[in-house]
Structure 1
Amino acid sequence: MVVITNYFLEHPREHIQLPFFVELCNTTKSSISEDLDIIDAVFQKQGCGYLHRTTGAGGGVKFIPVLSDEKSLAFIQSLCRKLEDPERILPGGYLYMSDILGDPGMVRQIGHIFASRFSSLEIDTVVTVATKGIPLAYAVAAYLNVPVVIVRRDPKVTEGPSVSINYVSGSSRKIQTMVLPKRSLQEGSRVCIIDDFMKAGGTIQGMMNLLAEFHAEVQAIGVLAEADDEEDERIVTDYTSLVKITNLDMAKQIIDVQPGNIF
């Protein structure tokens, strides 16, 4: 059971036929079936996912890593408390989050929550923009078992021909550039956009416009933190956020953070 469980954790959402486990563990099909029942029960009891089983000639099983709402909310609430530390306030009204994005355990948990939210969607690729969204994108992609595509600000000679667009940043209203190598994304791909922070949504809208050049379908948008700023009109409205910064007072050194719209 340890071998089978470890395989599921390392290969989420991968359809596996029972003969594979029979050969891997050198046992019988009936024994594997009994083990799967036990593993499924433990996964569900721990609130970390479940096994989806199918019958027939092409039947098999795959692990769906869905974190329970109870565990997701507990983590998000602890994240809110962590972000409310006044020492995180940066000039310009920004929030320091590099320590969170550099913590493998926290990033993995964030990826699990987003993957749980998007588990019912057909997603081929996770897309993010360099650089701070990259750790989150890889965490989400690991649970969805799909590749990551990174949009950059400048073209790289080593990546071949690229498609580039100009877009207007939602918060600063500055014209900026995004590029994506032609070989990095297949036309018609179903994508999930992941980013670390959203204010007005200009960067995400820019990514959506760039992905449209590849005829990609945006299935989901996930942001770690969103700013609740009434002064900036929100460009992107269909998204999922983990936390929302409702108040950031630099003068009084106060930050108010609450769970986002994920629930």
Structure 2
Amino acid sequence: MDRIRRNERMTAMIKLLSGTPNRIFTLNSFCELFGSAKSTMSEDVDLLQQVTKAFDLGEIDTVTGAAGGVRYRPKVSREKARATIEKLCADLSGTERVLPGGFLYYSDILSMPEIVNRMGEIIATEYYDTEPDFVLTMETKGIPVAFATANALGVPLVIARHSSRVYEGSAVNINYVSGSGSIETMSLSRRAVKENQQALIVDDFLKGGGTAGGMVELMREFNVKVVGMAFVMATASPEKKRITGEKSLMTLEVTDGDPAVAVVRPAEWLK
């Protein structure tokens, strides 16, 4: 193979790193791939770090130690995160999307890959330091954002279901009180997670916190620590939820009237 030029190496490196976020690549693996010396690869990494920082394209991080190397984290600055969420809030506010019961129609938003991936990166940015082993969500509307978050964190996605599936083997089932006050069932395969792991809960909507509380309880059954909870949207009322320490990207308030008006605003921590 002909000698690989620096611009070719750097293009390939950023593709490999960004294609598998939070995965550590050793310098030796890059040396073998490109046939270059370790000092040369270190210079290339330094250049990539400067470029990503200058254009706010995430973070290329060096990890020290025997298992160390280089990884890419698609971090989103607080300013860019706020700008993204403010635009979404403007699109979602008004009368056209209000549903009976104080809910809001935004399934179309959760079906747009560019928006969902960005929300996942914003959430992941807040929880890199907690080092979750997996992302947990409840079927079904929360799956796209939870998957995008898991991808940005470089960890698996685990999905709790309303009932167990035969093809998932034996399962743990718990009962929980939903936001409407009814008793519902939550199920998770025993093979999905392991004891003493750490979970990040991600879901699409938070009202009273019943479903989120159920997921926390489910993790207790597996002896798994919940290191954070994040939601796309939370209602302003009730102000006191059944969970604490959660973060939502947006807050929803539906004002009385005919027609009812949805007021969607960025969460306080983004301001």
TM-score, normalised to structure 1's length? 0.94
Distance 1:88-1:143 versus aligned 2 partners, 3 A rule: same
Contact 1:241 1:261 in 2 (8 A): no
Match of 1:89 in 2: 98
Are residue 228 (structure 1) and residue 236 (structure 2) matched? yes
Alignment of 1:4-153 (within 5 A): 4-55=13-64, 58-153=67-162
Shift of residue 175, structure 1, vs aligned partner:
0.5
Contact 1:93 1:250 in 2 (8 A): no
Classify the secondary structure of the residue corresponding to 2:121.
Answer: helix
Task: Determine the C-alpha separation between the residues in 1 that align with 2:99 and 2:253.
Answer: 16
Match of 2:212 in 1: 204
Distance 1:251-1:156 versus aligned 2 partners, 3 A rule: same
Gaps of at least 5 residues in structure 1 are: none
Shift of residue 252, structure 1, vs aligned partner:
3.2
CA RMSD, 1 decimal: 1.5
Classify the secondary structure of the residue corresponding to 2:231.
Answer: strand
Alignment deviations for residues 131-175 of structure 1 (CA, whole Å, 9 cap, x no partner): 0001111100001000011000011111111100111113x1101
Shift of residue 29, structure 1, vs aligned partner:
2.0
Are residue 188 (structure 1) and residue 192 (structure 2) matched? no
Contact 1:249 1:255 in 2 (8 A): no
Contact 1:151 1:179 in 2 (8 A): yes
Classify the secondary structure of the residue corresponding to 1:120.
Answer: helix
Distance 1:182-1:72 versus aligned 2 partners, 3 A rule: same
- Give aligned-pair identity as a percent: 39
Alignment deviations for residues 25-83 of structure 1 (CA, whole Å, 9 cap, x no partner): 22222222221111111111222322222456554222222111111111010011111
Task: Determine the C-alpha separation between the residues in 2 that align with 1:147 and 1:57.
Answer: 24
Gaps of at least 5 residues in structure 2 are: 1-9
Moved more, 78-87 or 105-114: 78-87
Moved more, 139-148 or 56-65: 56-65
Query: What letter matches 1:217 in structure 2?
Result: K
TM-score, normalised to structure 2's length? 0.92
